Amino acid sequence: MSRRPTPLIAEFPVSGREAGPYGITCGPDGALWFTLVHHGRIGRLTPDGGVTSYQLELASGGPSVITTGPDGALWFTEFRGHRIGRITTTGTVTSFPLPTPDAGPFGITVGPDEALWFTEAGADRIGRITLDGDITEFPLPLSGAFPSAIANGPDGRLWFTMNQANAIGAIAVDGAVTVSPLPTPAGAPVGITAGADGAMWFVEIGAGRIGRITPDAAIDEFALPDRASRPHAIAADADGNCWFTEWGANRIGRITPEGRIDEHDLPGTSCEPHGITVAPDGTVWTALETGSVVRLTPR
């Protein structure tokens, strides 16, 4: 029986263990941009290992998820500061407080309208912010849902996980929301991404599963070998695969469109992999909350 080649894994220290690298994305400048959730900073890592970080106004703001905006800047959520932030590739930071108190913004993505859409985990709302900073909020039909990650879908809607409602939501640009409950109880979905197959793929941190939902709300679930691995974030590559972090098991996993799962151990123990992103060259990058960023090169 043939064996698939083992990927190359390289680790880049980017902070002390207490800073908490969390979200990560590929920037328009070819660097990796990441959040330091416990220190209120945004970091930048070049492919050759050069590290820079930028202090935000609120050191306690809890910057969480970060994405590249249509304006060539990086946009991020401040979960504890209840703000949306913007940082240019030269380090200029702008902050936009949300109108709803204790909103707890977490996930963020670019919508089909070239605005940024984000979840408000503490307020059961989905938010929209224009590049000029105008904010609109849309209430969800459920309370206590804890909307988490959000991604732009192939059907012109924004798809998001409802962690405490055990459901996947979709919102149109006019604010119309649909909710699809998950078949598995206590799945507690978190990360979500648009796959190359026209479906949305998500992780169930509570059930140790990877899920797939089509635009017409047909759901498939794929159990991980280790149900206690706590999958957290997920990102799609150009070949139709999705890569995900296993926060509770120190691994990066890959699932093919057919549902085959491969897993790869990360350096050290209890490294807490959180955010994940796929670069244009196909390398996979993940932020370890213990102070590093890891690059996985598939072979």
Measured CA to CA, the distance from residue 240 to residue 289 in angstroms comes to 27
Closest C-alpha to 250, from 234, 261, 265: 265
Active site residue: 38, 39, 232, 274, which one?
A: 274
Q: What are the Cα distances from residue 110, in Å, to 14, 68, 116, 173, 230?
A: 26, 8, 5, 12, 26
Catalytic site includes residue 274: yes
3-state secondary structure 92-143: CEEEEECCCCCCCEEEEEECCCCCEEEEECCCCEEEEECCCCCEEEEECCCC
If you count them, how many residues does the chain have?
Answer: 299
Name the residue among 195, 136, 126 with its Cα closest to residue 161. Answer: 126
Supply 7's token pair.
Answer: 């990927």
What residues are annotated to the active site? 274
